[in-house]
Structure 1
Amino acid sequence: MASRDTSPLTEDDPGADGYLAGQLLVAMPGMSDPRFARSVICLCAHSAEGAMGLVLNQPLDNLTFDQLLSQLGLDPVPPARRIRLTQGGPVEGSRGFVLHTADWETEGSLEVMPGLALTANVEILKAIAEGGGPREGLLALGYAGWGPGQLDSELQQNAWLSVPADEALLFEGAPDQLWRRALAKLRVDPSALSGAAGHA
């Protein structure tokens, strides 16, 4: 069996256009919006039209994968395998998105970056429940959204740090440790951060 690859799924640097799709946004300690305090967000789309991402470290406490399958009428329950559920953000909280490795795709799957995809089709949940589907994945209900130029402005105000995504940060470890682990990848000590310092 091949060893786990925890290297970035794509280059460390944002594209030449300055957009950050495929990067992780790590909230600075001075984050003014309590919904995003200490949040880590995988940015799935970022362009002049705006941005969309999924919060990775706010677990859903009131819903299990088995319960979700039952609600959607998908078999089998109990499933052959499960994925983690997270509250993806404050927008469209009843809409589900699966962030996953790109070794599996279906109609409508969106490439976030090489090696990482986003699917909002129930076919992926059925495949996972049957023991197939992508090698790694998580299900987010809702998402975080920004209008044109909004995220860029927040980055300039040092509301977020950006961190290259890798599979270990995306899919492994305890959610309550993710904020510190993401900062550690940048070799940043959380206690040394203030709301006025940082880079984007």
Structure 2
Amino acid sequence: MEQSSLTGHLLVATPLLEDPNFRRAVVFVIDDSPTEGTLGVIVNRPSELSVAEVLEAWSDYASDPPVMFAGGPVGSGAGLALGMLGESAAPLGWHPLESLQVNSEVASVGTIDLDTPPEIIGDALQRLRVFAGYAGWSEGQLLAEIEEGAWYVVPAVTDDVFSLAPDELWAQVLRRQGGDLALVSTFPDDPTLN
């Protein structure tokens, strides 16, 4: 792979990826290290559980839809949050993503320390999304999956991470790429019904 880091990019599941954990998933890569592996969150899997039911103090800051997202199959009992800064300086409890030299479109997105009192950080955020769990790959594992044809790697924009229509995100991201990937976006959810 030509890029030194996938941080700030999207992994879009190809139609060949049948693993139910990642079928038609759109994963935002939070950290990608050649020696430590890759960490990301699935951004198109909203749950029916509201943020208010789990983290009441953060509910006023949660972006629409204000629900918990299923971030991935690892650590599903733990919360992870992403926030987008407005014009203000980075507040206590907001941490920028590392290695964003490739994709500045998401430079204002960072991780949120949910132990920080929301009143300290909340007003500095334009958007906030909370995830239960994450997706993780050990060193070299993701690259092997990409080479096998399981994932498309595309640049992310902030509207992907904080999409108002997460259920439509898989097709929207692919369509935006144009060419063959736009054609893939029309691939039926169940090809046997064709």
Tell me the TM-score normalized by structure 2.
Answer: 0.77
Q: Report the RMSD for the aligned CA atoms in angstroms.
A: 2.7
* Alpha-carbon distance change, 191 to 167 in structure 1, aligned in 2, over 3 angstroms: closer
The aligned counterpart of 2:129 is 138
Q: Which of the numbers 79, 93, 118 marks the counterpart of 2:111?
A: 118
More helix by share: 2
The aligned counterpart of 2:18 is 32
* Alpha-carbon distance change, 41 to 14 in structure 1, aligned in 2, over 3 angstroms: farther
Which 5+ residue runs of structure 2 have no aligned equivalent?
Answer: 101-106, 189-194
* Alpha-carbon distance change, 80 to 115 in structure 1, aligned in 2, over 3 angstroms: closer
Cα deviation for residue 96 of structure 1 reads 1.0
Q: Which of the numbers 147, 172, 176 marks the counterpart of 1:156?
A: 147
* Alpha-carbon distance change, 31 to 123 in structure 1, aligned in 2, over 3 angstroms: same
- SS of the aligned residue for 1:36 comes to coil
The aligned counterpart of 1:182 is 173
Cα deviation for residue 101 of structure 1 reads 1.4
Asked if the contact 2:171/2:185 (under 8 Å) is kept, the reply is: no
Q: Which of the numbers 71, 82, 106 marks the counterpart of 1:99?
A: 82
Runs of 4+ aligned residues of structure 1 deviating over 6 Å after TM superposition are none
The aligned counterpart of 1:6 is none
**Cα shift readout 1:11-39 (whole Å, capped 9, x = no counterpart):** xx974x2x211001100001031110000
Q: Which of the numbers 62, 67, 81 marks the counterpart of 1:82?
A: 62
Which 5+ residue runs of structure 1 have no aligned equivalent?
Answer: 1-12, 195-200
Q: Give the AA of the match of 2:165.
A: A
More strand by share: 2
